[in-house]
Each structure stands twice: as structure tokens, then as C-alpha cells.
Amino acid sequence: MKKLFMILMIVTTFIPVVNAQTTTHRTQLDANTVVKDSAGVIYPYSAWHNLVLSGGYSLRVIDPHSDNTAFVLYKLSEGERIAMLSHMPKPPETAFFTTGEGITSFSAHDINGNKIKLKDLLGKVVVLNFWFIGCPPCRMEIPELNKIVLQYANDPNVVFVAIALDCKSDIKKYIKDNPFLYQIIDDGKMYADLYKLRLFPTNVILDKEGKVRFHTSGYGPSTTLWMKKTIEEVK
């Protein structure tokens, strides 16, 4: 089934980096970029790229005067992380939804048997996530999505619903060791098809009138920051 869909990882081709004079600028980085840790050990691209993509790490130029630019990977403090993310642009919108318009309603049960009917959620802010277990960026963003859920745990007017392509037993097995705090609908291919979704993860936020106020596919370090901004604007 999953061969019908495309996993989308938003690659941060331009990542904020800091030079020796601590001036932040944007530099093009790729798999040939040399990135080291503080001990001088070179990181493989997949390792440093995923850490930077998480939003918790950044890169510092080792020698801005060298023709062979190399970077050192370092962990951001919470203040640095928020400051850096705040300067990142809003994630690109999808081709599946239109800002300011409503979406087709659906009715389903989550993996715990609770009925979810989109029309019944009018008057609440609805945060939707489309994902599947075999999607690396989907798994990567779950801890950050959980933080948003916890932030609104005492607000009944903000509802979080995840639509997974996987079967109920696989989802329950996965979240046993990897908690996902959204209400999760299983076997969600029909709902992905309803919106002609082919890119995952996709996040959508509906305002209290059921209109789309945020939608993006893939995962980048600023995605959840903009999700929180949107929730605050419309709740």
C-alpha cells in the first residue's frame, strides 16, 4: 500500500549557520559539506542533517576565511533554538488544501473506539496529521507534535487527530514504545485519498469555522513553531 505514496522530507537546503564572529547567515549545505563534532570527528550527512532538522542543533563555521568551509555541530540552548526558529520562513503550503476554504468532512473511529466526525468539531480548532509508521520524517516529528498536544492538554477547544495509513494492531504496537498523543484513526488510506494526499507527513489546522488556516507537507525544524503560532491566532 505504501508504495502508492511519497514520503516527503523537507530538506533544509539553506540552514542558518554561525561563523567565527557569531554572525548568523544562510549557507547552502549538502551531502559533501564537512561537519565535525567538538572533538573533530566527521559526521556522516544523514546524522548531522537529521540533528539540524530536529531544530535542536545548528552549525558553526570553523574558519570563515578558508576556501574549504567546514562546520562544527553544536547543541542549541532552548533560547537559541526558539530564536533561530523564529527567523525561519513559514513552511510551504501543500497542493492538497486551500487556505481560507473548508475541507470535505469525514466520520471515523479512532484506535480506542471513539467516534470522530469532523462536522461535529465545528467551534473547535482541529489539528490534523496524516502519517504512517514507515515514514521517517513522520516518526521524527511526533515528539515535537506531542509537545503541542501537552501545551493544550487543558483546552477542550483544540483537538488533535492523526490519520494513519497503518492497521490498528501495528499502530498500537508502535505507539507502545513511541507514544503519539493525538487521537489516532487507523486504516486511513481512504481519508488520504479523499484529499488526494500523496506526501507525508502532512499537517493541517482548521479554525473554528472549519476553514484551513495552515497546511504543509514534510517536516522541517520550523513546522511545529508555525503550527503553534496558527493555533494561537485562531483559537
Q: What is the pLDDT of residue 48?
A: 85
Which amino acid belongs to residue 197? L
Distances (CA, A) of 91 to 4, 44, 94, 117, 125: 24, 26, 9, 28, 20
CB 56 within 8 A of CB 76: yes
Q: What is the pLDDT of residue 21?
A: 40
The reported pTM is 0.73
Quickly tell me which residue has 511526533 as its cell. Answer: 142
Phi/psi for 223 (5° steps) reads: -55, -55
Domain boundaries, the chain: 11-86, 90-234
Sort residue 220 into left (φ over 0), alpha (ψ -120 to 50) or beta: beta
Please give the order of strands across the beta sheet that includes 70-75.
Answer: 24-28, 14-18, 57-61, 70-75, 34-36
Q: Tens of pLDDT along the chain (235 residues)?
A: 443 455 554 433 344 454 434 444 445 678 888 998 888 889 898 888 878 877 778 888 887 776 667 888 888 887 877 777 677 788 999 999 999 999 999 999 999 999 999 999 999 999 999 999 999 999 999 999 999 999 999 999 999 999 999 999 999 999 999 999 999 999 999 999 999 999 999 999 999 999 999 999 998 878 998 999 999 999 9
Q: What is the pLDDT of residue 210?
A: 98
3-state secondary structure of 191: helix
- CATH number of this structure's domain 90-234: 3.40.30.10
**Cis amide leading into 179 (omega within 30):** no
